[in-house]
Amino acid sequence: MHLYYTPQGAGNTTLKEISKIKKIKEEPFRLEGDIQTLFENNLLEIMELIVVKREFTIEDKRIDTLAYNEQTKAFTIIEFKRAKNISVIDQGFTYLSLMLKNKAEFIVEYNEQLKKNLQRKDIDWEQTRVAFVSQSFTDQQIQALDFKDLPIELWKVTQYESGIIAITTIAKSKTAPSIKKIIQEKEETKAIANEIKVYTEEDHLANISEEIVELYEKFKAAIVTLIDGVEIKPQKHYISFKKGGNVVDIAIRKSSLVLWINSKKDTINDFKGISRNVAGLGHQGNGDYEINIKDDRELEYIMSLIKQHLIAKNLI
């Protein structure tokens, strides 16, 4: 990938006014710690996580950054790597096993660092994750993690001149297989397979009628068309459509879809009144606007409500 910028530097410059572009040069990070500091200082914005502890040591193993996901109610272990010769899958499973064997220690660390009173029952251990962050990954490392339901993520970070930083998650291929059978066959990973799960769209659509599956696919296609560069990320209770953060969440029920728009109450003009205000009420998705959908008659109108959110957040 090559990055360029216009020397004019004006965001509203038209194509006719641009006479020349300049290639942006990459400026690699000198130290692993520089990448770690960058992420920790911006972790909520980058990964939607909060920092619990930097350099957390347990069982003689050092974790670069221990983080917590307040949406999924689960811990994430983050490792920052400059070397290309590590086995990310072996190290990833080591960390997952370490956490599952030492749950109490992780809870104590969270409570001590954040002055909270988190209890074991409050945590969804099933959603535990490991994330590796590096300036580059080898093809072998990427291929080793190309399983659609593997709880290990790769994040690539690149620094350019002029203070420009590019951060991307390395996506699974569309034909990525399941890792369930492989890890169930190994004694050392069987416990992880039994306790940690990565959800897929297939999980949410299993045992659902063709009518509701078709309804979901219609709304999914409309959202993908509306939100350029949207990321579809299945969670335990719903499927998230993200751009920077959650924009829309959809839960698939037996006879309907439940859709949440991640906006605070009174920020969207729903003149038809098809949404329910769930502010202050217990609900699974993000945002105060909940819409129960049984057919596609209001599809375009619902897209207009989502568009209001996108405009308010400067996402389009």
pLDDT-derived band of residue 1, with 50, 70 and 90 as boundaries? very low
pLDDT, mean of residues 170-181: 85
Helix, strand or coil, per DSSP, at residue 156 = strand
CATH tag, 201-312: 3.90.1150.200
145 contact partners, CB below 8 Å, separation of at least 6: 88, 89, 92, 152, 154, 170
Residue 100 and residue 258: Cα distance in Å, rounded? 33
Which band of pLDDT confidence, cut at 50, 70 and 90, is reported for residue 87?
confident
- Tokens 């949404």 — which residue? 275
Tell me, what amino acid is at 17? E
Share of the chain above pLDDT 70, in %: 92
Q: What are phi and psi of 61, to 5 degrees?
A: -115, 135
Q: Where are the domains of the chain?
A: 32-195, 201-312
φ, ψ of residue 190 in degrees (nearest 5): -60, -40
Instruction: Please list the residues that pair with 51 across neighbouring strands.
Output: 67
Q: Percentages helix, strand, coil for the chain, rounded to the nearest 5?
A: 35, 25, 40
Give the list of residues 6+ apart from residue 231 with CB closer than 8 angstroms, or none.
169, 241, 242, 243
Is 0.95 surpassed by the pTM of this model?
A: no
Strand partners, 259: 250, 291
Encode pLDDT of 264-286 as tens digits. Answer: 999 999 999 999 999 988 788 99
Span 288-314, pLDDT tens digits: 999 999 999 999 999 999 999 999 999
Phi then psi for residue 171, to 5 deg, are -75, 155
92 has pLDDT over 80: yes
Fold of 32-195: Trna Endonuclease; Chain: A, domain 1 (3.40.1350)
Identical fold between 32-195 and 201-312? no
What contacts 24+ positions apart, CB below 8 Å, involve 50-56?
Answer: 50/114, 52/109, 52/110, 52/113, 52/114, 53/109, 53/113, 56/109
**pLDDT greater than 90 at residue 11:** no
